Amino acid sequence: MRTFSGIQPTGRKHLGNYLGAIVQWVAHQERGEAIYCLVDLHAMSVPYEPAGLREAVYDTAATLLAAGLDPGRCIFFRQGDVHEHTELTWMLSSVTAHGDLTRMHQFKEKSAAQRELVSAALLYYPVLMAADVLVYRATAVPVGDDQRQHIELMRDVAARFNARFGETLVVPEGHYPEVGARIMDLQLPDRKMSTTGGSPQGTVYILDDPKTVAKKIRSAVTDSGSEVVRAPDKPGISNLIEILAAVRGIAPHEIEASFNGSGYGAFKGAVADAVVEYLAPVRERYEALRADEGELERILAAGAEKARAIASTTMLDVREAMGVGPVRARQ
């Protein structure tokens, strides 16, 4: 298995990113080859500050290393350091339907939220994401549930490329966690926990201090009932059950069974304690890792070199298949 996944360097990652993606990333390091990327070029699809982006790359790199990414067991790098991603984006755009891009939920939501420029980069986001994965011929892409539509598009694009230009790319599969694939905002439980679209009090950040984490969870919006069960009319409690199940590594029905009759107050207290304890080691490791920017740069540069070696081989095949450049001499 070859795994690839990317994450936006937005600096402060949240519990949804952690349970939906990062936990899987750490686990996939033991299941074959794993390649992980800080997608700084994706972050340019909405307004941003150049200096802030560079800082956010270090913040996110340190968070992921603190969470358990090990550069000795995975390739960890910054997207913008490997030019093959952008070259393949252009190649893939010739087999991507413009209509499919305008139908992406993320494009519709984010373009509607833009007050000024709706950039072409926002429309192209899924093509760059397809290039990220396909340039490594990855087989597995661990992501949260919100990425399903992008993964399906990427699979269609790879299949269309192969049908048009000959078998060159690998059609990858999305891997979604059984529990924690869509963590919801604690104050707006009908919306996913999110960097840009959620509420500050409803978003638990990985690096929030323990008091803040506990306060956010204890003030989570719930319904007027008292039963700790999942139900369509109980989105707040259902979300907390999902969070506790993911943190404890057990099934949601086991959480329901163990809190049967205990009431919301005790249940929220247990979720708060469990999440605080779960995130504490990451927060503790983060400070030392973040303090050494030279070491973070060294790790990312070494990762980029390894990534480039794989990506450049794919691009030779892609260019040849598409008729770009001279025919390659065979040895």
What residues make contact with ligand AQP under the rule CB under 6 A? Answer: 7-8, 10, 16-17, 20-21, 143-144, 146-147, 181-183, 192-197
**Closest to ligand AQP by CB, 20 or 252:** 20
Residue 246 C-beta: closest distance to ligand AQP, Å: 9
Residue 184 C-beta: closest distance to ligand AQP, Å: 7
Residue 212 C-beta: closest distance to ligand AQP, Å: 18
**Closest to ligand AQP by CB, 15 or 158:** 15
Specify whether the CB–CB gap between 213 and 276 falls below 8 A: yes
From residue 131, give the alpha-carbon distance in Å to each of 4, 16, 128, 246, 309: 11, 24, 5, 30, 16
Cα four-point dihedral sign 45, 48, 54, 59: negative
Nearest to 211 by CA among 122, 279, 146, 110: 279
Specify whether the CB–CB gap between 84 and 311 falls below 8 A: yes
**Closest to ligand AQP by CB, 101 or 315:** 101
CA 78/CA 7 separation, integer angstroms: 10
Specify whether the CB–CB gap between 42 and 128 falls below 8 A: yes
95 SS3 class? coil
Residue 219 C-beta: closest distance to ligand AQP, Å: 18
From residue 282, give the alpha-carbon distance in Å to each of 6, 202, 256, 291: 19, 20, 28, 15
Residue 226 C-beta: closest distance to ligand AQP, Å: 26
Task: Please name the amino acid found at residue 320.
Answer: E
**Closest to ligand AQP by CB, 201 or 258:** 201
What's the token pair of residue 2? 């070859």
**Closest to ligand AQP by CB, 20 or 318:** 20
CB count within 10 Å of CB 103 equals 12
Residue 13 C-beta: closest distance to ligand AQP, Å: 6
**Closest to ligand AQP by CB, 151 or 315:** 151
From residue 256, give the alpha-carbon distance in Å to each of 3, 13, 239, 269, 323: 33, 28, 12, 15, 59
Residue with nearest beta carbon to ligand AQP: 20
Residue 197 C-beta: closest distance to ligand AQP, Å: 5
Specify whether the CB–CB gap between 313 and 247 falls below 8 A: no
Residue 7 C-beta: closest distance to ligand AQP, Å: 4
Beta bridge partners of 38: 7, 78
Residue 94 C-beta: closest distance to ligand AQP, Å: 26
Across 188-217, b (16+ Cβ under 10 Å) vs e yields bbeebbbeeebeebbbbbbbbeeeebbebb
**Closest to ligand AQP by CB, 37 or 318:** 37
**Closest to ligand AQP by CB, 141 or 169:** 141
**Closest to ligand AQP by CB, 5 or 222:** 5
